[in-house]
Amino acid sequence: MAMATQIFKKLSPAGAIILHRTKTTSAEYVASRARDPTFEKLMEKYKNLVKVISIQDLILSSNSTPPSVSLDFLNRLSQSLHLNRGAAAFLRNYPHIFHIFNDPVKLHPFCTLTPAALKIVRQESEAINNSLPLTVTRLVKLLSMSLTKKLPLRAIFKVWREFGLPDDFEDSVIASNPEIFLLQDGNEPNTHFLVLNDCETFKDCLVPAVENWRVLECCKQDCVVDRTGLEYNFKHGFPPGMRLRQNFKAKVKEWQRLPYIGPYDEMRVEKISSSKSGVMKLEKRAVGIVHEFLSLTVEKMVEVEKISHFRKWFGIDLNVRDLFLDHPGMFYLSTKGKMHTVFLREAYERGCLIEPNPVYEARRKLLDLVLLGRRGLDRGGDILKNVDLIEGNGVQEMSNDDIGYLWKHRYLRLRQTLAFQAMRMITFGGLMSLECQFKSKNQETRVTELLLKALSRSMLPVLAFLPSIGRVEFNSSRIVSEGSWRATSWTNYMISRF
C-alpha cells in the first residue's frame, strides 16, 4: 500500500517484487512532506552536535597524551566535516567542549577536549559498559531480522553508535560471546560477516517492540483502537496541522487491519502473492522491520543512508526513504544538516525521549554544552569557575562581577538583531535621565555605562539586556518596569526577558 503516492508492481526475473513510485520525483516528494516543528527544532540542535561528535572522535582516537589533534589536520578535513568557516572558527564557538593550545615542541596549534567534555565521554562509556547484556540482545535481534541470520560487519560499523555498541565491540561483544556470534570471511578481500550461531537461546526475546504497545492498548479501558484488529496495528501520531482527508483515513484504517509477516518471522519469497494484497503485506512487513530497527537504537533515530545498508539483508525491495514518507504517522523524516534523519515518532514527546536510557542521558549533556555555545565566559574568554556546566541546564551560578559581562554579550547580539528592524524604532533625542537601584555597586557602574552607550546610539527603545534584578525608571518617557522590560504601545514592539 502506498498512502501518499501511486505505486505499481512488476516481477523481476528472480521472482522478487519490486515497487516503483510514479507521479513525483524523490526530491519533490521529500519537499512536499508535512513539517513537524518539534522535530525540526530538535534536528536544528543536532546539526552542530554531529560535527562536534566527529571532531571529538578524531581527538579521542589520537595516541597523544592528553588526546589532541592539530588544527592543520582538522583544516584539511574541513570539507568532509562540513566546517564552512574552517576548523578554528568552529572550535572557538564551543569553548566548553574544545580547548585550543600551542604545542611548545611542534610549535603548532592543537585542539583537545575540556574537562567537562571528558567527563561526559567517561559517563557515556560507563553507561555503555554497564549495559553490555542489553547490547548483546540488541545485536541478536538485529541479526535475527536478517533473512540469512548474518550481516556484513561494515554495515554494523555504520550504526555502532546508534546501537550503543562499545568502541571495541569486536572484542568486548563479539569475541567475548563465541557461542552466540561468529565472524566469517567474505568472498571479497577485507570483507567479513557476523553470523548468529545460537538462535534458540534468545528465542523468547525475539518479540517486536510494537507488541508491548499492543498489549498496553488492549488492557486500557478507554482504548480508542479497535481491539479486533489490534493484533496488526501500529501506533500513529500525525504532525500538527497535517490535513487528514477521509480517503487517507480510510486507507490508514485498511492498512492497520492488514496481516503481515513479523520482523522475526521467516519469510519465503515463493509464498508471497503478486496480487495487490500480497504487495501490501510486503510493504507492511518492511514497515515492521524499520520500526523494530529504530526501536533497537539508543536515541530512536538514525540516518536513512545507514539503514539502507541493511535493506538487502532484511529483504526490503522498497525505497526506504519513501517508505518513511508514506507513513508520516509513525516516522518523521528531517533534512536538516545536509542529511536525511528519521525519527520514531511514538518514542518522542516535546523533543525528548519518553523512556530515556543512561547512554541517551549522557549524550544529551553533550548537546547541552553545544547549545551553551560561548555563554558563561568572562571578559578574557575563560570559562567562569562557578558555572555549573554538567549537572545543570547551562549557567546557574555567577558572581555579580561577571553578570555584567554576560549581559553585555547578550546586548551586542540583541543590537545586531534589532538593526534589521530599525524602521520600527523611534529616535531618542538626547540622553534620558536614569535612576537605578541595584544590589551591587560594582554592577551598577557597569550597567549604567551600557545604558548610556545604548541610548547614545539612538536605536533601542527598550533595553532588554538588563537582568531583572532591580528597578529602572526613565524620567522622560515614564517607562517603569518590574521583573522584565516592556515597550509601551507607541513603540509597537515588545521584548521579553532575553
Angle of the 115-130 helix axis to the 37-60 helix axis, nearest 10: 100
Return the CA Rg of the chain.
Answer: 28
Output the pLDDT for position 464. Answer: 41
CA angle 5, 11, 13 (to 5 degrees): 145
More confident residue, 407 or 328: 328
Q: Which residues pair with 344 in a beta bridge?
A: 331
17-33 pLDDT tens trace: 333 444 467 788 888 88
62-72 pLDDT tens trace: 888 889 999 99
Residues 313 and 36: their CA atoms lie apart, in Å, by 31
Q: Which residues pair with 193 in a beta bridge?
A: 152, 184
Q: Which among 283, 276, 294, 290 has a CA at the least distance from the CA of 261?
A: 283
Q: Give the three-state DSSP class for 123.
A: helix
Name every residue whose Cβ is closer than 8 Å to that of residue 448 and which is 6 or more positions away in sequence: 434, 436
Output the pLDDT for position 449. Answer: 53
Residues 45 and 336: their CA atoms lie apart, in Å, by 10
Mean per-residue pLDDT for 411-432?
39
Query: Sorting pLDDT into bands at 50, 70 and 90, what band is 228?
Result: low
Burial class for 439, CB neighbours closer than 10 Å (0-12, 13-18, 19+): exposed
Mean per-residue pLDDT for 363-387?
75
* Domain 47-114, architecture per CATH: 2-Layer Sandwich (3.30)
Burial class for 78, CB neighbours closer than 10 Å (0-12, 13-18, 19+): middle
Grid cell digits, residue 393:
541546564
Output the pLDDT for position 272. Answer: 58
Output the pLDDT for position 108. Answer: 86
More confident residue, 294 or 468: 294
Output the pLDDT for position 387. Answer: 46
Percent of the chain with pLDDT over 70: 67
Cβ contact 292:211 at 8 Å: no
Query: What are the Cα distances from residue 39, in Å, to 46, 360, 384?
Result: 10, 17, 32
Output the pLDDT for position 480. Answer: 34
More confident residue, 244 or 229: 244
More confident residue, 108 or 226: 108
444-469 pLDDT tens trace: 455 545 554 554 443 444 444 444 33
Residues 427 and 177: their CA atoms lie apart, in Å, by 74
Output the pLDDT for position 229. Answer: 64
Average pLDDT score over the chain: 75
Mean per-residue pLDDT for 79-99?
91
Grid cell digits, residue 35:
513539517
Output the pLDDT for position 226. Answer: 60
Name every residue whose Cβ is closer than 8 Å to that of residue 39 and which is 6 or more positions away in sequence: 332, 334, 343, 348, 351
Find which of 203-217, 322-336, 436-450 is predicted with most confidence, using mean pLDDT. 322-336
Output the pLDDT for position 221. Answer: 64
Output the pLDDT for position 143. Answer: 95
Grid cell digits, residue 122:
567517561
Q: Which among 25, 26, 21, 32 has a CA at the least distance from the CA of 328?
A: 32
Output the pLDDT for position 224. Answer: 59
For the four alpha carbons of 121, 299, 334 and 364, in that order, the dihedral sign comes to negative
